[in-house]
A and B are shown apart, each in its own frame.
Chain A
């Protein structure tokens, strides 16, 4: 079982490493632009947010956004392509359990999230003197977020029938959730109605928890953030396993 798991993870890592120009490099460029625009050019005019200067406020969200996007992108692209070119059959004819397949793909997404997240972190550290409150909180929120969005990408790939289907969810669901999850602003500045709406957005809890790891303060509390992540991971894992076991859109 360990060899089978390791094989999938190595294959996944090699896949995104071979195309590093598409997978690892662009988030670093995008991050630099965010820092230039929101930090360097606009940050001073915006002033403080949640008690810290604006650039320090947005950095955790920017890092977490790249983790979310890359974990999701890795599993959705890899698993959909495996379906598209039928190489998924290599796994289906092998004595390999569905949990190992799921775990292998999720681990691939987590590793890409980690690599890109670290790349962005290092890039930012060249420009900004980063505050770190708790490495443990940073790591736990990063890890759980990467797992959750790798799972979400996997489920998207199972349902996807065309290349359009793997870009619709990131564009029309994921991106609005990220931007409205308090990435560039504190939810506390919103009217009460919109504050309440924001609390239904799981990304709000992740960004808030991740920010806690850097700045030492949050609006919801780290326990809520971890609980939301864990509950969602359990739900999506069960759904992904069910889809794999039933062979929905994989076996017919």
Chain B
């Protein structure tokens, strides 16, 4: 049916191609928005359980509709603006924060061939796009014309730029091992018949940890949420935002969190490959994705990684600012530099095998 739809669209020529691409974008973007809503519900539920509370339980079954209730509340609220704010930038900032976080989703491979843009320099493009999100935060902080917002923006900018370096280095290790920048090829380099021992999470275990912690810092989430430390600077860069403008920041932050979880899956946990790959080879309809791999695994693993975000938030107290900087510059970057050499040696002496 989908093939017939595509052929019908492509018969229109260039217009049809654009329309088909827009359709594909919607197929990714709409589920991301819904996933963000459900993830907010899941976050509140999980943190509630960890705090021995109920979490949301009033609206809908198990409180499932709570997130949508919040969304509607935010959408109907008035969008206020400080009278001395820079009007254009004030309204532009949430959009600038949102666009890169959604654009990066187009690069993710969910299954073999199941990706919107199979770019050759995918990994670099991903890094470039995620590094653009900080502009939204800086502009929000500056254009609000408020000291708290400004301080939050400064903190966010310094933190994001610092952790981007460590994150880039972890990606370098993945590039060295896989020999490619294409995300699909990176996943296929982790295929093999040794089950989950073939994934890059094994030879690059410290890099997986550093990547994920940098990802947490990059998205300004607890315990690295200095940018919105409510005990010192109220709510940081989005203190002056209300209603739907605030909702956009919220959406961007959660879309980024889920993105980091998916990218960690693709780079270090074998993407759609099964942890049982090569151990079972039976053909069973409906169930053989469990050992042959399929899009289900991508989502299961990403769900696991995104759960870590919630676990961190419920467990760790917030870092002090100088400690964040120390962790990024003096701990992560040296470890990364050493591990780049290690992974180069692994590759040179053929200690890890690429692909099946």
**Is B truly associated with A?**
no
Q: A residues within 8 Å of B by Cβ?
A: none
